[in-house]
């Protein structure tokens, strides 16, 4: 466990426990628009190992989840091509919240309100541990990224913009 305060359960941590996934908890001071970079800075983590969960939608407004390194942006054009869609774009925050059940800035791919297809930047899977949102602003969980492919059926893609 990290030395930070304990955070009450979220749908994400309930999901992780239900699926017997080992995780560590890491809390930090949430700052609007600080993103994964701010979390990495406060927690002393490598920015590339802190990953963000993005809710996007295809041309038919069907939601999908994209997991990307916190210090990279997603090429929506490449994602659309690799995911077999005409177009992919970020959801408006209130739409993303409706799909995921999480407040933007606290979105986790685990325990989402709706089951959505998940895409993960392939190089995320190379890390022994990644830090991903635990379902609340200012709260990350450290997990083995293989959980993303084994339990969420995340499909690896190469869509990071340098």
Q: Which residue has the tokens 């989840």?
A: 65
Give the tokens for residue 28.
């930090």
Q: Which residue has the tokens 């700052």?
A: 31
Is this structure's pTM higher than 0.85? yes
8 Å CB contact between 147 and 134: no
Give the tokens for residue 44.
């002393």
Q: List the CATH code of the domain at 11-161.
A: 3.90.960.10
Give the start-to-end residue ranges of the domains of the chain: 11-161
Task: Name the E strands within 75-146.
Answer: 88-90, 118-121, 130-136, 139-143
pLDDT, tens only, 19-42: 999 999 999 999 988 989 999 999
**In what order do the strands lie in the sheet containing 155-157?**
88-90, 51-58, 63-69, 118-121, 155-157
Cα dihedral 142, 14, 136, 154 sign? positive
**How many angstroms from the chain centroid is the CA of residue 94?**
17
**In what order do the strands lie in the sheet containing 24-27?**
24-27, 139-143, 130-136
3-state secondary structure of 95: helix
Cα dihedral 107, 108, 111, 117 sign? positive
**Rg of the chain over all Cα atoms, to the nearest angstrom:** 14
pLDDT, tens only, 69-127: 999 999 999 999 999 999 999 999 999 999 999 999 999 999 999 999 999 999 999 99
- Average pLDDT in the 46-52 region? 95
């Amino acid at each position: 466990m990290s030395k930070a305060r304990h955070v009450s359960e979220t749908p994400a941590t309930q999901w992780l426990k239900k699926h017997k996934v080992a995780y560590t908890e890491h809390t930090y001071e949430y700052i609007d628009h600080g993103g994964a970079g701010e979390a990495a800075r406060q927690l002393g983590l490598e920015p590339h190992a802190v990953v963000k969960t993005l809710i996007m939608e295809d041309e038919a407004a069907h939601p999908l989840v994209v997991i990307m390194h916190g210090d990279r942006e997603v090429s929506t054009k490449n994602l659309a091509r690799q995911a077999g869609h005409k177009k992919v774009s970020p959801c408006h925050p209130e739409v993303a919240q409706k799909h995921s059940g999480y407040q933007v800035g606290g979105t986790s791919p685990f325990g989402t309100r709706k089951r959505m297809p998940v895409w993960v930047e392939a190089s995320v899977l190379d890390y022994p541990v990644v830090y991903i949102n635990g379902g609340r602003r200012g709260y990350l969980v450290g997990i083995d990224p293989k959980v993303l492919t084994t339990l969420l059926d995340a499909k690896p893609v190469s869509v990071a913009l340098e």
